[in-house]
C-alpha cells in the first residue's frame, strides 16, 4: 500500500485520480499543504470524499523544526527540551512530555487528520537529520520519554509510530541527502539504539517507521529494505505485530534499490505494510507500480483517529487548555 504526498492546498485532478487506486491507503501532508486551519480541514474532508476507500491522513508534527502546521497551532518545543529538563527534574519532564504528546495529537485530530508520525525514538548523538528531534543521547533516558509520549498520544486517541527503526541517531549523515552506513555490530546497536524502541513497544506503540540506514555488520541493505531487520528482529525477536511503514522513497538513501517501482517492491518484499511516496513528482510512478487489486487495508484500521473532534470542542477541553499553558510556560523558561 502507498501513503502519497500531494502538491498544494487543494487536490489536483490527477491526485483525485490517484485516490481511486486501491493501493493508495493514505495521504501525508506537509507545510506546502497548509495555509490556515479552515483550509486544512477542508483539504482533509476533500481527500476523504475523493476516495471510495478510507484514507489515513498523516503528517510529521513533532515540534521544534519539524512542525508542519504553525499558524493557529500550539508552538511545540523540540523533544530535546524535555531531555534537558530531565537533568534536574525527571518526573516533571516526563509529565510535560506526555502533555506535549496530548496537545500535538489533539490539534492534529481536530484538524481532520488521523496520525502524526511520532515519537522520534532515535538517540540524540549528532545525526544531521535528527539533532534536537531526539529526547537525549542516553538510551535509558530516551526509553522513559518514549513510554510517556506514547501514553500521551493514546490519551488523545492517536496511534503512536516509533521512528526510525532500528535507530538513526548514531550516524552522521542525513538520509534525505546521503547514504548512511552504521558500521557497529549488532551487539552495540542492541545495547544503545534498541531500548527506546522496545520501551515504546511495551507501551503499546501501534506502528514503526523504518530507517534508510545500512547496518552492514547485520544486513547488507538499508533497514527498510531488509527482511532481517523487519522480519527477524522487529517481528520475530521483538514480537511486534503492528504496522510497518517505510521512510520516504523520495529520499537519497532510498535510491540504492533503483527506481521508484524497485524501491516499492523491495520495501514490501522486506515486510513493510505501507510505503511513503512523499514528493509529488514521484507519486505517479509509485501508483503506476502498484497492481490494481485489493490490498490488506485492515492492517491500517487501528491507526485512524479514535476520538474524532473539532476545534470548537477542543478549545473547551480542560486538559487541552492546561497542556497549552504548560507548553507556553516552557517557552519562557
Q: Are 161 and 208 in contact (CB under 8 A)?
A: yes
7-39 as b/e: b if 16+ CB within 10 A: beeebeeebeebbebbbbbbbbbbeebbeebee
Which residue is associated with the grid cell 539504539? 193
Active site residue 212: no
Active site residue 312: no
Catalytic residue among 138, 174, 176, 285: 176
Joined together, the cell numbers standing for residue 177 give 541527502
Asked if residue 164 has a cis previous peptide bond (ω within 30° of 0), the answer is yes
Q: ∠ CA 122-158-125 to the nearest 5 degrees? A: 10
Give the dihedral of Cα atoms 133, 254, 268, 159; nearest 10 deg: 10
Q: Are 156 and 100 in contact (CB under 8 A)?
A: no
Distance CA 326, CA 329 (A): 5
Q: Which residues contact 2 (CB under 8 A, 6 or more apart)?
A: 23, 24, 25, 26, 264, 274, 275, 276, 277, 286, 287, 290
Catalytic residue among 60, 114, 221, 247: 247
Residue positions annotated with a catalytic role: 176, 247
Amino acid at each position: 500500500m502507498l501513503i502519497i504526498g500531494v502538491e498544494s492546498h487543494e487536490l489536483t485532478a490527477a491526485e483525485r485520480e490517484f485516490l481511486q487506486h486501491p493501493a493508495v491507503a493514505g495521504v501525508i501532508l506537509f507545510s506546502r499543504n497548509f495555509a490556515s486551519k479552515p483550509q486544512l480541514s477542508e483539504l482533509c474532508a476533500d481527500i476523504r470524499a475523493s476516495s471510495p476507500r478510507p484514507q489515513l491522513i498523516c503528517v510529521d508534527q513533532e515540534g521544534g523544526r519539524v512542525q508542519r502546521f504553525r499558524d493557529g497551532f500550539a508552538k511545540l518545543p523540540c523533544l530535546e527540551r524535555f531531555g534537558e529538563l530531565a537533568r534536574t527534574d525527571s518526573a516533571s519532564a516526563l509529565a510535560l512530555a506526555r502533555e506535549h504528546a496530548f496537545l500535538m495529537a489533539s490539534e492534529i485530530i481536530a484538524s481532520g487528520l488521523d496520525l502524526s508520525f511520532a515519537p522520534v525514538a532515535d538517540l540524540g548523538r549528532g545525526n544531521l537529520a535528527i539533532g534536537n528531534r531526539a529526547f537525549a543521547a542516553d538510551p535509558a533516558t530516551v526509553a522513559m520519554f518514549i513510554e510517556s509520549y506514547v501514553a500521551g498520544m493514546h490519551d488523545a486517541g492517536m496511534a503512536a509510530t516509533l521512528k526510525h527503526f532500528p535507530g538513526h541517531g548514531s550516524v552522521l549523515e542525513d538520509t534525505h541527502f546521503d547514504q548512511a552506513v552504521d558500521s557497529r555490530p549488532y551487539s552495540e546497536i542492541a545495547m544503545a539504539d534498541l531500548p527506546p524502541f522496545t520501551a515504546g513497544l511495551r507501551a503499546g506503540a501501534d506502528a514503526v517507521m523504518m530507517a534508510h540506514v545500512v547496518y552492514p555488520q547485520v544486513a547488507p541493505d538499508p533497514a527498510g529494505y531488509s527482511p532481517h531487520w523487519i522480519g527477524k528482529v522487529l517481528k520475530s525477536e521483538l514480537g511486534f505485530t503492528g504496522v510497518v511503514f517505510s521512510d520516504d522513497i523520495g529520499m537519497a538513501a532510498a535510491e540504492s534499490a533503483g527506481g521508484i517501482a524497485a524501491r516499492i517492491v523491495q520495501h514490501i518484499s522486506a515486510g513493510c505494510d505501507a510505503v511513503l511516496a512523499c514528493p509529488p513528482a514521484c507519486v505517479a510512478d509509485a501508483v503506476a507500480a502498484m497492481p490494481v487489486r485489493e490490498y490488506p487495508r485492515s492492517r491500517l484500521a487501528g491507526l485512524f483517529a479514535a476520538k474524532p473532534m473539532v476545534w470548537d470542542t477542543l478549545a473547551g477541553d480542560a486538559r487541552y487548555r492546561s497542556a497549552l499553558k504548560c507548553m507556553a510556560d516552557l517557552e519562557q523558561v
